[in-house]
């Protein structure tokens, strides 16, 4: 039996601002933006190529302090290209950092150990890791 992670709730203070950041600046697809009433709104967005989405909203999502989610991680095959794309979209992103060493030779020196970091407008923290191929 497969167990797949499909959705992660990201706590935000302003749904419209967060939706614009994730859709316009990060390029996530807006799967749906559902308003159920004055106090309930759910927006689901999915990173390009991902099987897991994020949900932002109000009323029907768990109450967490905006900006309290840390350690979300995206994986890309080319970290330099991903970083350049984020910068072009106006995202404040760190320089490429190498964290640790590979235990065995890999095709690309940044594979597994290359990262960049950014936060959304509320301070939820994201990492982007390079993995160009998997065994």
How would DSSP label each residue in the chain? ------EEE---S-HHHHHHIIIIIT--EEEEEEEEETTEEEEEEE-TT-S-EEEEEESSS----TT----EEEEES-HHHHHHHHHHTT--BPPPEE-S--SS--SSTTTTTEEEEEE-TT--EEEEEE-S---
Taking residues 125-131, report their average pLDDT: 96
Nearest to 61, CA basis, from 45, 47, 46, 41? 41
In the block, which residue shows the tokens 């029907």?
60
pLDDT in tens, 57-110: 998 777 889 999 999 999 999 999 999 999 999 999 999 999 999 888 888 999
Distance CA(115)–CA(75), nearest Å, equals 9
- pLDDT at 122 > cutoff 70: yes
Cα–Cα distance, 116 to 98 (Å, whole number): 9
In whole angstroms, what is the distance from residue 129 CA to residue 42 CA? Answer: 28
- Mean predicted confidence (pLDDT) in 113-124: 97
Kindly tell me if the per-residue pLDDT of 129 is higher than 80.
yes
What pTM does this model have? 0.91
In this prediction, residue 135 carries a pLDDT of 65
pLDDT in tens, 15-69: 999 999 999 999 999 999 999 988 999 999 999 999 999 999 998 777 889 999 9
């Amino acid at each position: 039996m497969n167990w797949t992670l499909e959705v992660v709730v990201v706590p935000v203070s302003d749904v419209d601002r967060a939706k614009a950041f994730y859709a316009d600046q990060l390029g996530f697809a807006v799967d749906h933006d559902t308003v159920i009433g004055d106090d309930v709104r759910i927006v689901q967005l999915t990173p390009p190529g991902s099987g897991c989405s994020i949900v932002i909203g109000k009323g029907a999502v768990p109450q967490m302090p905006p900006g309290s989610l840390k350690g979300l991680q995206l994986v890309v095959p080319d970290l330099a290209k991903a970083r350049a794309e984020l910068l072009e979209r106006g995202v404040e992103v760190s320089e490429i950092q190498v964290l640790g060493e590979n235990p065995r030779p890999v095709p690309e020196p940044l594979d597994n150990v290359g990262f960049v970091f950014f936060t959304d407008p509320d301070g939820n923290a994201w990492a982007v890791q390079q993995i160009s191929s998997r065994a």
